[in-house]
Amino acid sequence: MHADALAAALDVRTAAEHEALAARLAAMERDGQLLTDRKGRLCVVAKLDLVTGTVQGHPDGYGFVVPDDGGADLFLAPSEMRKALHGDRVTARSIGVDRRGRPEGAVVDVLARANREIVGRLYEERGLCFVVAENRRINQDILVPPEMRGAAKPGEVVVVELIEQPSAHREALARVVQVLGRYTDPGMEIEIALRKHALPHEFSAAAKRQASRLPPEVRQADRKDRVDLSALPLVTIDGETAKDFDDAVYCQRVGKGFRLIVAIADVSHYVRDGDTLDRDARDRGTSVYFPRRVIPMLPEALSNELCSLKPAVDRLCMACEMSIDGHGRIGRYRFYPAVMHSRARLTYAQVWEWLSRPDAVTTREARALHPHLANLHALYKVLAAARVRRGAIDFETVELRLEFDPHGKIEAIVPEVRNDAHKLIEECMLAANVCAAAYLIEQKQPALFRVHEGPTPEKLEALREFLGGSGLSVTGGDHPGPDDYARLLAKVRDRPDFDLLQTVLLRSLQQAVYSPDNVGHFGLGYDAYAHFTSPIRRYPDLLIHRCIKACLAGTRYHPAGASWRELGVHCSLTERRADEATRDVESWLKYYFMQDRVGETFPGTISGVTHFGIFVTLDGLNVDGLVHVTDLGNDYFHFDAVQHRLSGERTGTSFRLADRVTVKVARVDLEQTKIDFVLDDSVETHAAVTSMPASRPGGASTREHSSQKKKRRAR
């Protein structure tokens, strides 16, 4: 029916009632519950056999509608993708199946547009200006009329504002609102990533004003009702370039056990629920750490100064004091607000040198701190042994660091060696986080837990099928635990295919998220786990601090403006957004570094296998590139998804996940952030090449390229 007929049926009479009804109907249209047809009548979408969902574009021009109700995705042909952009919410109708058997859809209506501004490069061809979006999921060109180009020149990176969204009959129109500069300007990769991923990078005027009014140091009134820890030799241990010091530690021996104090910056004292600083912090969700630049969650007046546990100054903190026995079991623990005075700002390299080389302990500071650091190291060994007994999964990964010259050009990619100093801090933080989760459960305070679930039934079935081909199995039946994974990893650690097996095990697990439902942390082997130790750079930690403070005061904390479930989804999304942005920047910098290495050969490991080729990660550089299937040899290669393998039909030559190869850099495309490799003909044999029976045929492939997603460590 028409809206006025509906109003009459509902006995809507007054102007206020009409206004409220109109607002409700508009909201239901935005949510995809209602649709207005060509005759102006309101229709219930569920009765029209329509699907409401979000458009997910593909760089090759097609896309999918991901339904809100979790049903099967609808394939959108390139002609249908002309009507919408990646991220738009739409209603779509199923129109059958495509030639690959996928449900196919047609866009009926666009409910909400996701893109107001787009960052990309400006091009000009035959007098026509257009922008190619940096987000490759937006495959459509954005037209820029000449009068709306401003001072932008072809080839420059610009931000455009959409003035007309795309439709079936016309392309999107936009005007240039900002010129960022040339594509290869230093730091441009970060400017692009900020806008491509919609990362908030400027604080609101209100937040800046609030930060400017904060005191420069701890006041006498702030010390009220706090435990004075200033006499304890608490120290911070961080990386060389860190400026926001969240945590300080102190450890002493007590009989056969230990007393551990983990002091965490008390951000919640200065950032109150719902104030302007809190709103900006919630919007950001996390600090984002790019090479050479940080986008902080809080203004630097807090993150680097007032809240940061800098040496030789008093700072407010929340302390977690734990008694840990000689077997690594946490006994009594307590939380309390305190005042601390850091004795030193130490680095991982410095601490490890003191611990591993007694002759390096020469300065007065080192001699004073060394006994306490030795206690921390002894505690680490106890906690590490408890981790093994607990069955926590310990995947072996190598972190890499980018090094730059004075002009900002990347000059080297070097491995970041993890030593016991890194690990002892990690174990101390894990212990405090476990106590935080346990305390909130004990107090029945709702909160956000860091949860990590095991494999889904589908992934577990695929894992068992893969392991069966190697004569292996994972114990635990239909619900394997982390100890089952840990035992399998220990069993295969000395096998030549260990890298392959570890990779497959890692990929079988789900991603860690924030949730009010405590289902435990599979990877770490904890029944309950919460993030407490980094409130300067993670919003969930700030929420946990508020929860603990409320419990200490005998009250309950309920966050303003959102439910715990909404906050869990939001914080998980902002974490993934930050990960994707930093991954984009690091990938671009690595590809820039590889420009000068075309024609050079490198050893590497197959890190991905698809029907169109193999992805290879170069040793010591962590740079990914594609060897297309047409460059694998004069044969028909078939893809075995279960065994992660491409096998030649005639020769039996096989390329499998985690196999070793030597490749030559054939092409580096900075604009597409792609690298093409070819197998090195000068090497007669490859560890990856094995002779085996050809696997069952796969589908034909066309040349494609996609960046490989790297699984983050479970913690």
The domain ranges of the chain are 49-111, 117-183, 205-435, 454-509, 598-691
Gap between the Cα atoms of 198 and 189, Å rounded: 14
Give the list of residues 6+ apart from residue 396 with CB closer than 8 angstroms, or none: 502
Q: What is the band of 126 on the pLDDT scale with cuts at 50, 70, 90?
A: confident
Ranking 156-165, 207-216, 458-467, 528-537 by mean pLDDT, the lowest is 458-467
Burial (CB count <10 Å: 0-12, 13-18, 19+), residue 549: middle
Mean pLDDT, rounded, for 467-479: 85
**pLDDT tens digits, residue range 686-696?**
444 443 333 33
Q: Can you give the pLDDT at residue 702?
A: 30
pLDDT of 668 strictly over 90: yes
**8 A C-beta contact, residue 126 and residue 98:** no
Residue 284: φ, ψ to 5°: -75, -40
Can you read off the two tokens belonging to residue 609?
A: 């296998």
Same fold for the pair 49-111 and 598-691:
yes
Q: What is the band of 708 on the pLDDT scale with cuts at 50, 70, 90?
A: very low
**8 A C-beta contact, residue 488 and residue 476:** no
- Output the CATH code of domain 117-183: 2.40.50.700
Q: Could you tell me what percent of the chain has a pLDDT over 90? A: 64
Helices H / strands E in the chain, number of each: 15, 34
Handedness of CA 490, 496, 502, 508 (dihedral sign): negative
Gap between the Cα atoms of 290 and 586, Å rounded: 8
Q: CATH class for domain 598-691?
A: mainly beta
Give start and end residues of each alpha helix (H) in 418-563.
420-442, 457-469, 482-492, 498-507, 539-552
For the question of whether the overall pTM of this predicted structure is more than 0.85, the answer is no
Q: What is the maximum alpha-carbon separation in the chain?
A: 90
**8 A C-beta contact, residue 162 and residue 173:** yes
Q: What is the band of 411 on the pLDDT scale with cuts at 50, 70, 90?
A: confident
**pLDDT tens digits, residue range 129-155?**
999 999 989 999 899 999 999 999 999
**pLDDT tens digits, residue range 592-631?**
899 989 999 999 988 889 999 999 989 888 888 999 999 9
pLDDT of 529 strictly over 70: yes
**pLDDT tens digits, residue range 51-73?**
889 999 998 899 999 998 878 89
Ranking 90-104, 510-524, 650-664 by mean pLDDT, the lowest is 90-104
Mean pLDDT, rounded, for 500-526: 90
Can you read off the two tokens belonging to residue 602?
A: 């490198």
Instruction: Specify the DSSP class assigned to residue 650.
Output: T
Tell which residue, 687, 688, 669, 665, has the closest CA to residue 677.
Answer: 665
Can you read off the two tokens belonging to residue 162?
A: 């959409």
Mean pLDDT, rounded, for 374-395: 91
Burial (CB count <10 Å: 0-12, 13-18, 19+), residue 542: buried
**pLDDT tens digits, residue range 291-315?**
889 999 999 999 999 999 999 999 9
Average pLDDT score over the chain? 89
**8 A C-beta contact, residue 339 and residue 218:** yes
Q: Can you give the pLDDT at residue 697?
A: 32
Kindly list the distances between the CA atom of residue 593 and the CA atoms of 431, 579, 598, in Å, as whole numbers in the listed order.
Answer: 40, 21, 10
**pLDDT tens digits, residue range 18-41?**
999 999 998 888 877 888 877 888
Tell which residue, 62, 83, 86, has the closest CA to residue 74.
Answer: 62
Question: Considering the domain 49-111, what is its CATH architecture?
Answer: Beta Barrel (2.40)
Tell which residue, 512, 634, 579, has the closest CA to residue 287.
Answer: 579
**pLDDT tens digits, residue range 324-348?**
999 999 999 999 999 999 999 999 9
Q: b/e string for 204-228 if b means 16 or more Cβ within 10 A?
A: eeebbebbeeeeeebeeebeeebee
**pLDDT tens digits, residue range 145-183?**
999 999 999 999 999 999 999 988 889 999 999 999 998
Q: What is the band of 698 on the pLDDT scale with cuts at 50, 70, 90?
A: very low
User: Which residue type occupies 283?
Assistant: D
Mean pLDDT, rounded, for 640-644: 86
pLDDT of 199 strictly over 60: yes
Q: Can you give the pLDDT at residue 169?
A: 84
**pLDDT tens digits, residue range 551-566?**
999 999 999 999 999 9
Q: Can you give the pLDDT at residue 711?
A: 32
Radius of gyration, alpha carbons of the chain: 28
Q: Can you give the pLDDT at residue 506?
A: 86
Tell which residue, 114, 99, 154, has the closest CA to residue 30.
Answer: 114
Q: What is the band of 682 on the pLDDT scale with cuts at 50, 70, 90?
A: low
Instruction: Specify the DSSP class assigned to residue 285.
Output: -
pLDDT of 268 strictly over 70: yes
Between β-strands 227-228 and 330-341, what pairing exists: parallel, antiparallel or unpaired?
parallel
Q: What is the band of 700 on the pLDDT scale with cuts at 50, 70, 90?
A: very low
Q: What is the band of 102 on the pLDDT scale with cuts at 50, 70, 90?
A: confident
**8 A C-beta contact, residue 285 and residue 570:** yes
**pLDDT tens digits, residue range 223-234?**
999 999 999 999
Provide the β-strand partners of residue 194. Answer: none
pLDDT of 707 strictly over 50: no
Instruction: Specify the DSSP class assigned to residue 408.
Output: S
Strands of the sheet with 235-238, listed across from one edge: 227-228, 330-341, 314-324, 257-265, 247-254, 235-238, 344-347
**8 A C-beta contact, residue 287 and residue 300:** no
